[in-house]
Amino acid sequence: MAAEGKTMDALSQFELTPIVAGFSNSNLYMLIAGVAISALMLIGMQPRARVPGRLQSLAEVSYEFIYGLVRDQIGHEGKKFFPFVFTLFMFILFGNMLGMLPYAFTFTSHIAVTFTLALVVFVLVTAVALAIHGLHFFSYFFPEGAPKALAPLIIPIEIISYLSRVVSLSVRLFANMVAGHVMLKVFATFVVMMGSAGVLGLLGALAPLAINVALVGFEFLVAFLQAYVFAVLTCIYLHDAVHLH
C-alpha cells in the first residue's frame, strides 16, 4: 500500500475490502476490538485478586475511569448509562489504538461508522429525555426567561444546535483520525521517495522520518483523547437529557 512509483496515495488505507461477502476489513477490526475489550475485562478480572495484577489493574482502571466520568458528568442518575458509555469509550479507544498498528484498518476513520455511533448517542439521549420529561422536553429548545418575542429566532437555533450534535460528534472523531493517518502516510511516503533518490535523498529522508516518529506519538495521544472527548460529550448530552439544562 506504500507509495507505488512516484504517486502519493494517502487514501487507499481507508479502502473497504471484503473479508467475506458483506463483511469488510473495517468490520473485522470492529470484531477484533470487541474481542479485545471482552478479553481484557473477562481475562483481566479472572484472578479476582484483592491486590490486582497488571491486567486486572488495567480492567479496574478502565472501569473506574469511565465510572468517575459518568458520575461526575451525569450525577447519581448516570449509573444506568455507565455500561453504554463504557462500551462506547472502549470501542472507540480500541478502534483508534488498533488503527495505530501497521497494516491495521482504522474503522473510526469512516464517517459512516462515527456518524452511526453519534446517531446511536443522539437517539438514546432524545429517548431518555422524552422518557423522563415527556412533552416538557420540548421546553429545552426555549430557555426559560428568554423574551417571548425572540422565540421565532431562538427555537430554530436551539433545534439546529441540538441536531448538529450528531454532526459535530461524528465529524470530530472522523476528521481527527483521517487527518492523523493521512499525515502519517504522507510523511512515510516522503521517507520512501527521498530514500530512493540517492545519498543526499537518504540524508534528507531523515527529516520526514523524525517527523513521523513524533507524529506516531502524537497520534497515540489523539487516539485516546478523541475517545475521551466522544465519551465526555455523550455524558454531557445525557446530563442534559436527564436534567434539561
Partner 1 sequence: MPQLDFANPLLLTQVFWLLVIFGALYVLVSQVALPPVARMLEERATAIAADLERARALKAEADAAMAEAEREQARARAEAQAQIRATLDAAKAEAAKAEAELSTRLAAELDAAEQRIAEARARAMAAIEQVAVEAATAATGRLIGVAPDAAAARAAVGAVLAARQG
Q: Point out which residues bind partner 1 (CB under 8 A).
A: 11-12, 14-18, 22-24, 26-27, 30-31, 34, 37-38, 41-42, 45, 48, 50, 59-60, 63-64, 82-84, 86-87, 90-91, 107, 109-113, 116-117, 120, 174, 178
Q: How many angstroms separate the CA atoms of 225 and 227, rounded?
A: 5
Please identify, using beta-carbon distances, which residue of 174 and 194 lies nearer to partner 1.
Answer: 174
What is the closest distance, in whole angstroms, from the C-beta atom of residue 244 to partner 1 in the complex? 26
DSSP reduced 3-state for 171: helix
Quote the least distance from Cβ 48 to partner 1, whole Å.
Answer: 6
Question: Residue 36 and residue 134: Cα distance in Å, rounded?
Answer: 39
Nearer to partner 1, 3 or 178 (CB): 178
Nearer to partner 1, 34 or 75 (CB): 34
> Which grid coordinates are listed for 94?
480500541
Which CB sits closer to partner 1, 83 or 201? Answer: 83
Angle between helices 82-98 and 54-74 (to 10 degrees): 130
In this structure, what C-alpha cell is assigned to residue 74? 451525569
Q: Which is nearer to partner 1, 13 or 73 (CB)?
A: 13
C-beta of residue 62 within 8 angstroms of C-beta of residue 90: yes
Query: How many Cβ atoms are within 10 Å of 145's Cβ, its own excluded?
Result: 5
Q: Give the per-residue SS3 of 118-158.
A: HHHHHHHHHHHHHHHHHHHHHHHHCCCCCCHHHHHHHHHHH
Distance CA 24, CA 32 (A): 13
- State in angstroms the smallest separation of the CB of 37 from partner 1: 6
Give 90 or 223: the residue with its C-beta nearer to partner 1. 90
CB of 44 to partner 1, least distance (A): 9
* Residue labelled with grid coordinates 473477562: 42
Q: In angstroms, what is the minimal distance from the CB of 125 to partner 1?
A: 16
Please state the closest distance from residue 141 (CB atom) to partner 1, in A: 29
